[in-house]
A and B are shown apart, each in its own frame.
Chain A
Amino acid sequence: MDELLITKIQDIIKKYGKDREYLIPILKKIQKLNRYNYIPQEVSQYLAKYMQLKESEVYEVISFYAEFSETPRGENIIKVCDSTVCRVNNNTETIKLLESLLSIKMGETTQDKNFSLEYSPCFGACDISPAMRINGKTYGNLDKKSLKEIIESYRR
C-alpha cells in the first residue's frame, strides 16, 4: 500500500476512533477511497491491525453487508430492484434493456470498468416501480426512453 493511502486511512480512523462500533462508518469511507468500489484485502488487513481487531472481525462485516465488496466493481454501480413489486411491474424488460445497452449480463462489469450491473433487493421505491439505483441515486418508472437517457448521462 502506498503512503498516501495509509495516511488517508489513518485520518479516517482518527476522525471516528478505534472502537469497533465505528467499523461500519469507517469501512464506508475507506471503500470510497477506491475508484472501483471495493475494499482490497491488504486494506482490510491493515485496518484490522490498526484498529486492534481480528482480521476475521473486519472481514465478516465486509462480507455481510451488501454495500461492501471484496472485489473490484465498475465505477458506476447499477442496482436493479428484483423484489416483488418491481417484478410485477415488468422489471424483466428493464433488465433486458440494460443488458443490451451495456452489452453485459446481470452480475457483470463492462470491459472499460465504467459500469457494474447488479440485482438488488427492494430499496423502497416501489411506488415508482420498476426502479434502479445508480451509485445510490434512485430512478423510477423506467422505460426504454428514460433508461437510455440515464445510462448515456453516466457514460464517460
Chain B
Amino acid sequence: MDKIDLAFTLDESMRPVDGRLTFDGEGVITVRENGERTRSLSAKDAKEAQVLGGVGCALILLTYENAPDIALARFDMSRLKAAGEWCKIVNHAIETGKPAFDDAIEPEVCEKCGKTLPEGMRVCPFCFSKTGLLKRVWSLMKPFRREAIISEAFIALSGVIYLSVPVLNRVLIDNYLAPRLGTAAQIMLLAGFMFLARAIGEVIFVLSSRVYARVGTLFSNHLRDLAYAKIQKLSMTALGRRTPGELIRRVMEDTVTIKDFLTDYGRWMVDMGLMFIASMVILALTNWRLTLLVFAPIPIVVVALYRFRSMIHIRYERQWRKNSRAQSILHDIIKGIRTVKSFGAEDREIAKFAGVSKDLAQVMTNNETMWALLFPAVTFFSGIGEFMVLYIGGKWILGGSLSLGVLVQFTMFLGYIYQPLRWLVSFPRMLADAMTSLVKMFEILDEEADIQETALSKDADVSGGVDYQSVSFGYKSYEPVLKEVSFTIEPGEMIGIVGKSGAGKSTLINLMLRLYDPNTGRITLSGEDLRAVSPRLLHEKAGVVFQDTFLFAGTIYDNILYAKPDATAAEVIAACVAANAHDFIMKSADGYDTLIGESGYSLSGGERQRLAIARAIIKHPRLLILDEATSSLDLETESIIQDSLNNLTRKRTTIAIAHRLSTLRAANRLIVLDKGRIAEMGDHMQLLRRKGIYYKLVMAQRQTNKAAG
C-alpha cells in the first residue's frame, strides 16, 4: 500500500459529508468531500498532525511551527480511533521523512457479515442469535433436573387421576342413575373409586410439591452463587458501570424472582398444560360439538393476551428500573450518610427519596390498575363459554340429543379448562417479571471479562523489572488518560511518581496491577507481557496501598489478615510495627481484636492509612505499590514508616506516588507525569537541574515549608 485513507463524516459546517482524507507516500495530504478535491497540502512543512476532541465530534488538524493551524477533517466519534492511527502514520512520516504504512486503518468488522462493529463491541448486532432464555434456564437447572422431572411426573400423574373423576361421574349418571338401573353395591363401588382417586391424587400432589419446593430453593441458591461469583470476577471496567445497589439487587432479588417463577409457574405450566390437553381430548371424544362450544372463547383470550404481551413487558421493565433506581439511591445515601449530615441535607435527601419512591409507587399502581382491568375482562370472556355450554347443552338434553351425564361431565371439566386459562392471564405478567430478571441476570453472567484470565495465564513473576512500551489508555476509549507512556523500572528500584492531580498517576498503577488493560502499547513484567499474566496471581504477589483506603467491617486483625489469610499473629504484628500502627492499636482495650466499623470510620484517616500499609506489606511483597499511602500522616510518623519501609524495600521494586516530595526522597528515580504524558524522568538532582516541572514543584514546596516554619 502506498497511501493511507481516512473516511470522515462532517464538513466545515458540520453537515454530513462523504469525506476522504488521503496521505500518500510523497507526503501530500488530500482532502476530498463527496468525491471532489477540496484541499491539497504538503505534510512536510507541518509540525504535527493531531486529533482534537470536541464533544460528540472530533477533528484532525495540522500544526505548524510558524503558521496558523489548519483543520483537515471533522468527524463523529466513531472515527476517532482510526483518526488517531492516521495521525500516527503521518507524524511518523513527518519525523523520519519516510512513510510507514505497515498497519492499515481497518475498523473492526464482524467476521460473519462484514459490517463495521461499533467500537468496543465484540458481538455483531445483526449476526447474534439469542439463545433461548428458557433453554439457558434449562441448562442452568442441570444439577436439579432429575428431581424436577420426577416431581413433575408425579404432578402429572395426580392430574390424570383427578381427570378420571368426572368420567366416572358420567358413567355413574348415564349408566346407573338416569336409567335407574344400578345396584347399591355398584354405586358404592363407583363412588368409592372417585373418593380414592381424589385421595391418592392429593397425596401424590403434596409429596411432589415438597420435592419441587426444595428444588426451587436449591436453584435460587445456585443462581445467587453464580451471580456473586461472576461479580467478583468482573473487571473494574465492568464494575465501574454499575452501582453497588444494582449489583446487590441482581444477586439478592432477581434470583428470587426467577426461582418464584420456576417453582410456581414453571411447574404449573406443565401441570396445567397437561390437564388442558388431556381434558380437551377426553371431551372431544365424548361429544365434539359441545367441545367446540367450550373452546369458542379461547382464541379471543389468547389473541388479547398476545396483543397485550409487549405492553406488559415494557411496563414491567420500567418498574424494574425504577425499583433499581430507588435502591441505588438508598444505598448511596446510606453509605454517604456522614456527608449528608455534614451538609445538613437530610431533608433534601428525604425529599429526593420520597420523589423516587413516589415515582415507583406510581408505576406500580399503573401496572396494577391495568392488571385489575385486564384480568376480569378475560374472566368475563371465559364465562361466556360456561354460559353457552349450559344453555345449549341444556337445550340439547331437553331435545333428547344429549345425555345428562355428558353435560355434568362437561361442566366439571369446564373448571379444568378455564382454570388454566384464567391463570394464563396472569402468566404473561409473571413471565414478564421473570424474563426481566432473567435478562438482567444473564447480562451479568454473560458479561465478558474485559480482562480475561485464561487457562494459559501465566504466573506472575514480580521479581523482575517493569517495562511500559508506549502505553496509551483511557477509561473511555475516546478520552485518553495516559498517552504513549514509556519507561522501564529495574528490579529492586524505587520509583517515585509525581504530577498534578488528575495527571494519571493512579491510572498508571491500575494498569500495572492489570485492573485495566492498555488500549495500545504494552506492559511487561519480568519480560512477560502483562496480558498473559494472571491478574489474580499478580495481585497475590504485589502489595498495594490505594489512595482511597478501604477497610472491611471486622477486627483490625481480620483486616490485616485479609491480604494473607494464613499469616501468623507474629506476622500481623510485625506488619503493624513496620507500618507504625502497632502503638495506636495497643492503646485500645481490645488491641488487635478491636472492631472497626464499615469503611473503618471509627479510625482516624492516618490510622486507616497505616493499617492499609500493614495490609500491603504483610506478604513481604517483592513489588510494592504505594499511592499516596502516607499522605494523611504527619511528617514525623511518615518518616518513621519510611525508614522501616526502606529497610523492607531494599531489593524490592517499589513504586510510590506522592504529592509531598519529601515522601519520595529515597526514590532512585522520579517520573513526572503531566496530562497523561511523561514530562520528565530522572533522579532528584537531574530533575532539579532541568529546571522544569519538578523544579517548580520543589521550589513551591520549599516556599510553603519556609512560610510555615
Q: Is A bound to B? A: no
